[in-house]
Structures are given as structure tokens and as C-alpha cells.
Amino acid sequence: MKLKITLAMLMCGIGAAAAAGVAGAATRDSDVRTLAVKYDPSALETDGGARQLYARITKAAADVCPSFAPHLVSRDVQMCREQAIAGAVAKVHNERLAAVYLSATKHG
């Protein structure tokens, strides 16, 4: 059985505000962009499977929180991506995936 997780982005709140240069824009539920990432729960029985799902979640976050300049990611876009990834990992609620996430987000 395949399950799916949804990345809910604050695209119109954070990303659009950054793109338009408008600070403090509010987000409505209808303005939130999402992208489903389907996965097989049995894949999370291995570290490799958890790493693969994390990579797909990261790619989905980049797709839903795009940068409008090819090699430049604004702080707002980066925050959007980080929030999306954290939310998706939390929604899956799997120890292996959480460990991959913590390892990938270690600072320093």
C-alpha cells in the first residue's frame, strides 16, 4: 500500500511576499501550495530508504518553494523550504526519517 505526505508551503505568504517585496503578507488556506510525495512505508525499514525519501521531500520543497533567480536562494525561500521539510518529516512520524533529517540539518 502506498501512502502520501503533503508538503504545505507558505508560498503565497512567505515566497510571494519575498518575490513581490511585500513584508508581512498574510496566508490563507486557499493560498497554500502543496505537493504530494508518495512513498512505501516499508522503504522506511532501512536507512537507505529513509535517506531516499528525505531526498524526495527536499526536492519537493524546492519545487513548491522555487527561487526565481537560478543560483540565488533568498532567506524567505530557504525558510519556506525548511518549514516544508520539517512539516513533512513530522507528518511521516518515522524514527529513521527523523534521524536523517536531524543529521542533514545539523549546524556547526
**pTM over cut 0.75:** no
Q: Confirm if 43 and 52 have CB atoms less than 8 A apart.
A: yes
State pLDDT tens for residues 35-62: 999 999 999 999 999 999 999 999 999 9
Contacts of 77 (CB under 8 A, 6+ apart): 14, 15, 18, 65, 66, 67
Residues written for the chain: 108
State pLDDT tens for residues 70-97: 788 899 999 999 999 999 999 999 999 9
